[in-house]
Amino acid sequence: MTMHRRTVVKAMLACGALVGLGAVIPGAAFAARNKDAFSSDDQAKAMQALFDAEPANSQDIVLKAPSIAENGAVVPVTVSTEMTGVESISIFVADNPTPLVAEFMIPAGTKASVATRIRMGKTSTITAVVKADGKLFSTARETKVTIGGCGG
Amino acid sequence: MAGIFKVKAKAKDGVTKVKMLAKHVMETGQRKDKKTGEIIPAKFIQEITVQHAGNTVFSGQLGTAMSKNPYFSFTFTGGAKGEELSISWTENTGASATETAKIK
């Protein structure tokens, strides 16, 4: 019986190692999609993986989201800014299983204003990160969720 | 799969405002089937690109936290009534498609 338990433990360890490897390889293979950032369960790590830097707080980003969302499965969010040279707009929800919601590329000629709808598992802060002229800016606000959007 | 996107694009004074809604489950891979208790595999749109006259006017990398039937709205300079937008999307399953929509 003891032997049997050993093998199970070993198998579990091997599994863990495989999962670890799996997380690293796709990141290298698909440069276009930042899998590490999208699969990270920690907001700070996701930001690090996506931008390799920390954004500075800014008053120039307008993040529109309800203060109370009745249904976490559909939370309307609008991010806009008057900054020039905006390259991308990203949205994070800190307490979601994977905080990075989406990264929108803003090519020249497109207004730095994006509206979309996101899921929220529970009450959390929503953070919008704007990349403009290679610099990062962010703003955050809290949305209370009465019914989560991740449960079955 | 023809046409999961419903697009409303309106050109006015040289600026086009686009609102689009996709009909898609955006399955996160974290929900369980209530009957069998098995995890429903993830199925979501992970990449979307909108082009107008050969130029990309909007693109996004999406995670699983996009809502079901995701909605996007953006505005770009250029575009005129009658011109076409082409919308390409890719699922995490590898499925992809390109659709077109007319600017009104």
- The answer to whether residue A17 scores a pLDDT higher than 90 is no
Above 80 in pLDDT, residue A6? no
Domain ranges across chain A: 33-147
Give B3 to chain A, closest Cα distance, Å. 19
Does any CB of chain A come closer than 8 Å to the CB of residue B72?
A: yes
Residues of A in contact with B66 (CB under 8 A): 101-102, 116-119
Mean pLDDT across chain A, nearest whole number?
Answer: 80
pLDDT in tens, B23-38: 888 888 888 878 888 8
Model pLDDT for residues B18-74, shown as the tens digit of each residue: 999 998 888 888 888 788 888 888 888 999 999 999 899 999 999 888 888 999 999
Greater model confidence, A143 or B3: A143
Q: pLDDT of A38-95, one tens digit each?
A: 888 888 888 988 988 888 999 899 999 999 988 888 999 999 999 888 999 999 999 8
CA-nearest of A64, A45, A55 to A134 is A55
pLDDT of B98: 92
Domain hosting B61: range is: 5-102
Looking at beta carbons, which residues of chain A come within 8 Å of B50? none
Note whether A119 contacts B34, CB cutoff 8 Å. Answer: no
Q: What is the CATH number of domain A33-147?
A: 2.60.40.2470
**DSSP assignment of A60-129:** SEEEE--SEEEETT-EEEEEEE--SSEEEEEEEETTSSS-EEEEEE--TTB-SEEEEEE--SSSEEEEEE
CATH number for position B55: 2.60.40.10
Query: How many domains is chain B built from?
Result: 1
The band of A151, judged by pLDDT with boundaries at 50, 70 and 90, is low
CA-based nearest residue in chain A for residue B45: A102
